[in-house]
Amino acid sequence: MLNSAHSPLLIDLYQLTMAHAYVELGMEDTAVFELFVRNLPATRGFLVAAGLEQAIEYLEQLHFGSAELDFLASLGTFSSALLARLENLRFTGSVHALPEGTPFFAQEPILRITAPILEAQLVESRIINIMHFQTLIASKAARCTLAAAGRQLVDFGMRRAHEADAALYAARAAYLAGFDATATVEAGRQFGVPISGTMAHSFIEAHERELDAFRGFVAAHPAGTTLLIDTYDTERAARRVAELAGELEPLGQRRAIRAVRIDSGDLAQQCRSVRAILDQHGLRDIRIVVSGGLDEHAVKALVEGGVPVDAFGVGTALDVSADAPALDMAYKLQAYAGEPRRKRSAGKATWPGIKQVFRERGASGEILSDQVALVSEASPGEPLLVPVMAEGRRLAPPPALAESRDYCARELRALPAQVLELGSGPTVYPVQFSAALQALAAQLDAQLR
């Protein structure tokens, strides 16, 4: 098992066949590629840009080692000129991008790469692969954050995330978009995301009696823990928690029971009855955590129903973005050798030229609308794409993840209220395309190729 995340061979083969052709044909001019989402999923009113930090790391470290060059040579299809070029290849271009945590919409460039065409083309698949996944998850997580209305959210999705990297970066992207913690320990180590964990049903089942399991777990965790109460009968388990609290009270250890977790069944009904049982026993400070198949709609229903829940564990629905497991994200050539370019394939035509997104705000900073325009145009509003790399080097140290998280929260609050509704659709937010951009597209269409 090699570390595929760093492999320069984690690309589509056509990037190498094109690189081969660029070398053979002497095509060395500068290309400008932009990354954008063609259309939002039907169930998204906005997306949240994420993954930029990992994209920059990828570009910074990109190189072909001898093992990779040997493998390519063994295929027998690539010229020694290409292999020599790859041996010395480093990313030497510049990158402009939306800061992580920025809300964005269909057809808006979120990252732009300007580099010799061989380099800019070679990184296509992996740049999409990195940015697509974290953007997908941050966008889903932001919806959960809105639904939770301030209650605590924890990422529980590692087991059904799509392999190792997805688990790790889902935790990062969810935290960026407002989650409070993750169960994934490695995300705590690599990104400083707060980690949170309780117990599994198997711990209960490994004991002859549920109360013994509770007693043993609390004894092992005197500083405080959460007890899982739905293994056999949730209400009976809640009474056992109260019984245990009664045992611990005279020892001054009652506070070791911080919370209970319910993971199945009718969560609203069980939370109400468990809350009542705990309250009857004077255990008002024991919190209730729920999990088990939750998504933003279930979270919203519990919150709006006034159900006594303190925290939500959201798993699979978050980590695979279950209702929309992919975005229609593309990375397209917009200019080559100084000339604007346009793809005209049916249903996939692109806005040509080098572009910028200008965001208009009201007096209190509230977000009103966007205009996508040529970068050369004078356009009102704040330009969203900012320079992050030049000549292959990062322009500034990465912002702290917690800082990007605060920025994301502020920007989400600034969006129009109807865009933030869970039922909001892809076209609620107003995005305009400048007259000059429309004229350029028409002009390119009129040219025969």
Task: Please pick, from the candidates 107, 184, 371, 434, the single residue that binds a copy of itself as defined by CB under 8 A.
Answer: 184
Q: How far is the CB of 88 from a copy of itself (least distance, A)?
A: 19
Q: Which stretch binds a copy of itself (CB under 8 A): 85-93, 248-256, 271-279, 317-325?
A: 317-325
Instruction: Determine, following the binding rule CB under 8 A, whether residue 443 of this chain makes contact with a copy of itself.
Output: no
Instruction: Determine, following the binding rule CB under 8 A, whether residue 166 of this chain makes contact with a copy of itself.
Output: yes
Nearer to a copy of itself, 89 or 322 (CB): 322
Closest to 47 (Cα-Cα) out of 361, 371, 411, 404: 411
**Distances in Å between the alpha carbon of 368 and those of 186, 358, 371, 430, 432?**
39, 11, 10, 8, 12
Task: Please pick, from the candidates 278, 298, 302, 320, the single residue that binds a copy of itself as defined by CB under 8 A.
Answer: 320
- Taking CB under 8 A as the rule, which mask of x and - marks residues 77-106 in contact with a copy of itself? x-----------------------------
Q: Which stretch binds a copy of itself (CB under 8 A): 88-96, 189-197, 250-258, 369-377?
A: 189-197
Give me the residue label for tokens 């990104």: 191
Instruction: Determine, following the binding rule CB under 8 A, whether residue 193 of this chain makes contact with a copy of itself.
Output: no
Give me the residue label for tokens 């050539």: 333
User: Looking at this protein, which amino acid is placed at residue 359?
Assistant: R
Nearer to a copy of itself, 168 or 385 (CB): 168
Nearer to a copy of itself, 94 or 334 (CB): 334
Q: How many CB atoms lie within 10 A of CB 266?
A: 11
Secondary structure class of 413 (helix, strand, coil): helix
Give 397's DSSP letter: P
Instruction: Determine, following the binding rule CB under 8 A, whether residue 57 of this chain makes contact with a copy of itself.
Output: yes
- Taking CB under 8 A as the rule, which mask of x and - marks residues 272-301 in contact with a copy of itself? --------------------x---------
Instruction: Determine, following the binding rule CB under 8 A, whether residue 66 of this chain makes contact with a copy of itself.
Output: no
CB 158 within 8 A of CB 313: no
Tokens found for residue 384: 């969203």
**Distances in Å between the alpha carbon of 58 and those of 6, 413, 414?**
7, 31, 32
Nearer to a copy of itself, 174 or 327 (CB): 327
Contacts of 314 (CB under 8 A, 6+ apart): 144, 153, 154, 155, 156, 157, 179, 291, 294, 295, 299
Q: Which 238-277 residues touch a copy of itself, going by CB under 8 A?
A: 263-266
Instruction: Determine, following the binding rule CB under 8 A, whether residue 121 of this chain makes contact with a copy of itself.
Output: yes
Tokens found for residue 128: 């999409």
Q: How far is the CB of 258 from a copy of itself (least distance, A)?
A: 12
Q: How far is the CB of 124 from a copy of itself (least distance, A)?
A: 7
Q: Which stretch binds a copy of itself (CB under 8 A): 182-190, 247-255, 362-370, 376-384?
A: 182-190
Q: Output phi, psi for 97, to 5 deg.
A: -160, 160
Task: Please pick, from the candidates 110, 141, 144, 168, the single residue that binds a copy of itself as defined by CB under 8 A.
Answer: 168
Instruction: Determine, following the binding rule CB under 8 A, whether residue 333 of this chain makes contact with a copy of itself.
Output: yes
Task: Please pick, from the candidates 73, 84, 149, 159, the single residue that binds a copy of itself as defined by CB under 8 A.
Answer: 159
CB 48 within 8 A of CB 139: yes
Nearer to a copy of itself, 209 or 361 (CB): 209
Give 199's DSSP letter: -
Q: How far is the CB of 207 from a copy of itself (least distance, A)?
A: 8
CB 38 within 8 A of CB 106: yes
Q: How far is the CB of 185 from a copy of itself (least distance, A)?
A: 4
Tokens found for residue 19: 């690189």
User: Looking at this protein, which amino acid is placed at residue 386?
Assistant: V
Closest to 191 (Cα-Cα) out of 407, 410, 402: 402
Q: Which 210-239 residues touch a copy of itself, going by CB under 8 A?
A: 210, 216-217, 219-221, 223, 225, 230-233
Nearer to a copy of itself, 76 or 150 (CB): 76
Instruction: Determine, following the binding rule CB under 8 A, whether residue 346 of this chain makes contact with a copy of itself.
Output: yes
Q: Which 350-409 residues touch a copy of itself, going by CB under 8 A?
A: none
What's the chain's length in residues? Answer: 449
Contacts of 203 (CB under 8 A, 6+ apart): 213, 217, 228
Instruction: Determine, following the binding rule CB under 8 A, whether residue 64 of this chain makes contact with a copy of itself.
Output: no
Q: Which 36-55 residues touch a copy of itself, going by CB under 8 A?
A: 54
Nearer to a copy of itself, 13 or 276 (CB): 13
Q: Which 128-147 residues touch a copy of itself, going by CB under 8 A?
A: 128-130, 132-133, 136
Q: Which stretch binds a copy of itself (CB under 8 A): 105-113, 142-150, 206-214, 249-257?
A: 206-214
Centroid of chain to Cα 296:
15
Q: For Cα atoms 402, 403, 407, give the angle at the middle one, nearest 5 degrees.
A: 115
Nearer to a copy of itself, 257 or 384 (CB): 257
Closest to 330 (Cα-Cα) out of 98, 100, 131, 51: 131
Q: For Cα atoms 14, 20, 24, give the angle at the middle one, nearest 5 degrees.
A: 145
